[in-house]
Structure formats: structure tokens, C-alpha cells
Amino acid sequence: MTLPVTSVEVVEVRRITPRTARITFAAEELPDAVGTTPDQQLKLCFPRPGRREPVLPARQDDPMGWYQAYLAIPEAERPVMRSFTLRGRRPGTRLVEIDFVLHGDTGPAVSWALRAAPGDRLGMVGPSALYAPPVPFAEAAAAADWVLLAGDETALPAIATLVAALPEGVSAYAWIEVADRAERQDLESRAELEVEWLHRDGAVPGSVLTEAFRGVVLPAGAPFVWLAGEAGAVRTIRRYLVEEEGVAKESIDFTGYWRHRLTQDDAPTAEDLADAQERSAGY
């Protein structure tokens, strides 16, 4: 199984909320499986200053070899890489949609997205079934008595695809922290879905979502929980669910997408490494 590596070109930029840009890309190549399952992870490669498009890692027969190929690119040419969730694929085309959270002109992805225009080119690595969980989300959700999805605005693209994949009859809850009321988005689902929007309104990212769990009365029965967003908040919520609510660790799928006051280029903390080890052990 090889990991797809391709160039993509911007064809449309839309502001779906004041702080979220949905950018549609045309991919030069795109496997048929892309966009057919929820929560598909990918990496975008951004060009170095002065370059129109990034240098991409050479394709490898070894599915894990792409990163070594990426590191083999001379540092002065090596693209900046950031992780995203595929928001959608337009049926019958090679057009994919990716949402960018515009949280200030501070990082390479946000800086690029604020200025993105048709014709701009990036590189895309993935998505690939190589990184899919062994138990598909819909299957895990169907085996539970109820489902909870919790995260911040960076988790919204994944949450939207996940709730859309839920079948009828599933009881599902989504708790989503966003900057303010203007950042709400419509979520479509066949499940019995209740959405709770939590407005940060200037509070520390992750704090409002974390506080929402304090003293909450959860539904009876065995849940399946999906958590993503700011790493510290995800860690705290997961610990609370396991230690205070008795939720089984194997019933929680969790990912720290980003870290408050740290970037993806900063070294992982001891807690980050522990989370990664436990997550990989669960997979």
C-alpha cells in the first residue's frame, strides 16, 4: 500500500464563517477511495518563500518511506508540512475540499490561506487507509449505546464527516467549542444527533470544552467517544472520562491536533509522547 503524493491547485476559496476558509483543490491524481470514508487525514506541503509550488517527496513503494523521502529534500527546499482532515470530495471529480481555521496570521498554513487564490499550488500527502483505525467509526458507534464527539473548531471537519456517516437509530451528541456564535456550522446526520455549541468568547482555547464535562450527567449505557482538538484539553477530558466516569479506554478515540502556545515544529513534550504511545498501542 503506497501513500498518495500529488500536487493540488486551488480552484475556489470561500469563507464559510468569519474564521474558516473552505478551499477547493484540484488534484493531479487522486485514488478512488479518497473521500469515501469519514475522518480522512492528510498532509499539505507549503512552498518555501520565493517558490510558486513546493518540492514534493519522491514516491516510495514502502508506505512508511515517504517521510524519509521528505527529510531527504535539502532543508532550503524542504516544504513546510501541516496536517488536515479532508472535508469532502466532489463526486466524480478530483476536487477536494479542505477547511482552514483562520486563527491569526501567525503560522505558515494560516498565512497561506489568508492569501490563497485560484491557481495557487500545494502538495498533498495522503489520505491513506494505512492510518485508518482497525475498527471503522460507524462500526464502533453502532456497537455502543450512544456516541459522543467532542472537539474545537479544528475538529469540525472531522466531526462533520463522522456524524454524516452515522446510520439512523444511533443516539449521538456533539460538543463543539468555537470562538463565538458566528463560527457555528450546519451538521447533517441521519442519526439522532444533539449538538451543543460552546462559545469561547475570548477564553483560553480548550477551557470551555473542558469545563463542560465537569459535573455533567452522561447518558446511561456504554458509550463510544471521539475526542480531538487542543492536545491539553483532549488529554484532560479523556482522563476525566476514564477516571471519573468509568469510560473504558478502548472506547475513546482521541487525537491532539494542536498545542496551545506551541507549533507542530516544536519538539513533543513528555505528555505528547505518552499520548502517542498509548494511541498507537490502541490501534
The per-residue pLDDT for range 25-40, each reduced to its tens digit, is 999 999 888 988 999 9
Which has the closest alpha carbon to 163: 174, 151, 178?
174
> What is the CATH code of the structural domain delimited by 137-282?
3.40.50.80
Whole-number pLDDT of residue 59 = 79
Q: What is the pTM of this model?
A: 0.89
Strand partners, 229: 256
> In the chain, what are the domain boundaries?
5-131, 137-282
Contact 5, 56 (CB under 8 A): yes
Residue reference for cell 469563507: 15
Helix (H) or strand (E) holding 45: strand 41-46
DSSP state of 249: G
State the pairing for strand pair 41-46/80-89: antiparallel
Most confident of 75-84, 136-145, 266-275: 75-84
Whole-number pLDDT of residue 91 = 92
Q: Tell whether the torsion through CA atoms of 150, 260, 8 and 276 is positive or negative.
A: negative
Confidence band for 139, pLDDT divided at 50, 70 and 90: confident
Task: Report the range of poorest mean pLDDT among 17-21, 60-64, 138-142, 232-236.
Answer: 60-64
Whole-number pLDDT of residue 156 = 97
**CATH match of 5-131 with 3.40.50.12780:** no
Contact 10, 118 (CB under 8 A): yes
Q: Could you tell me how many helices (H) and strands (E) the chain has, helices first?
A: 7, 11
